[in-house]
């Protein structure tokens, strides 16, 4: 029986709008050639249409070949709640572990190839290994920057994560009736969307309220600090220094 390999990557770490999506794809090592034939690679190197076609093929093959796929979509509310007591690097460790646990059984054994989301690759590896725990001792965890461009399974995972993230943004645009753009703060279309989405009594739920882009635009529009949400479905307004 061929050894297993899990590739893990994320899409949507930096955007101010929408979810952060993590995907773990588990395949036998002998099936890596199948992924190469599909053209799976770092999602940034592929057009949206090419990513979509590769994603459909991977899901189809997963059914016939028994590949494991774990998708975790972390909504903005969870990101904001996490920011109150932790940082994004630690949250991503948790999301990576959750996706891995969906994609494979801990007892199987193999190699995890993760695209490190921390500037310190060793620290990310240590944290992910620790989070998975002793029951995953049969698995070797390797995490490096740019893993999605060096390992085909991690590249395939990046494609699945990106397609899922793009679908979420398309659904948001349809529901809100506005263009969101890339979701990154540097995108003028995104900044205009944020301005529209903070015009109400509270920022729209699709925004990451803890992001500086949201707080800055909120303050421009409302003249005070952005409300804080705790992940329990509640939000509280921060008091302006001028009120004291």
Binding site for a divalent metal cation, by residue number, is 9-10, 115
Binding residues: 9-10, 115
Q: List the alpha helices (DSSP H) in 66-151.
A: 76-83, 88-103, 121-132, 147-150
Cβ–Cβ < 8 Å for 207, 224: no
Cβ–Cβ < 8 Å for 39, 25: no
Structure tokens that stand for 220 in this block? 């421009």
- CA torsion angle 104 106 110 113 (round to 10): 60
Cβ–Cβ < 8 Å for 93, 143: no
How many other C-beta atoms are found inside a 10 Å radius of the C-beta of residue 162? 25
Structure tokens that stand for 203 in this block? 């920022």
Structure tokens that stand for 158 in this block? 């990046």
- Start-to-end C-alpha separation, the chain: 69
Sign of the dihedral defined by the CA atoms of residues 202, 206, 210, 211, in that order:
negative
| Buried/exposed code over 85-95 (b: 16+ C-beta within 10 A; e: otherwise) | eeebbebbbbb
Structure tokens that stand for 163 in this block? 């397609």
Sign of the dihedral defined by the CA atoms of residues 135, 158, 65, 28, in that order:
negative
């Amino acid at each position: 029986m061929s050894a297993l390999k899990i590739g893990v990557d994320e899409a949507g770490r930096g955007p101010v709008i929408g979810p952060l999506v993590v995907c773990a794809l588990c395949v036998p090592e002998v099936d890596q050639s199948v992924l190469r034939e599909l053209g799976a690679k770092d999602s940034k190197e592929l057009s949206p249409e090419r990513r979509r076609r590769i994603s459909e093929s991977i899901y189809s093959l997963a059914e016939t070949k028994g590949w494991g796929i774990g998708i975790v979509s972390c909504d903005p509310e969870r990101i904001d709640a996490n920011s109150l007591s932790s940082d994004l690097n630690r949250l991503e460790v948790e999301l990576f572990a959750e996706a891995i646990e969906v994609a494979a059984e801990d007892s199987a054994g193999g190699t995890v190839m993760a695209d490190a989301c921390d500037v310190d690759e060793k620290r990310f590896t240590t944290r992910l290994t620790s989070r998975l725990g002793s029951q995953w001792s049969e698995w070797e965890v390797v995490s490096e920057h740019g893993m999605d461009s060096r390992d085909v399974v991690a590249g395939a995972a990046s494609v699945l994560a990106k397609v899922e993230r793009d679908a979420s943004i398309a659904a948001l645009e349809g529901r809100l009736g506005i263009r969101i753009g890339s979701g990154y703060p540097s995108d003028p279309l995104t900044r205009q969307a944020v301005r529209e989405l903070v015009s109400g009594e509270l920022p729209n739920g699709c925004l990451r309220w803890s992001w500086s882009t949201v707080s800055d635009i909120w303050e421009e529009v409302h003249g005070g600090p952005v409300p804080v949400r705790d992940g329990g479905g509640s939000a509280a307004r921060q008091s302006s220094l001028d009120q004291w």
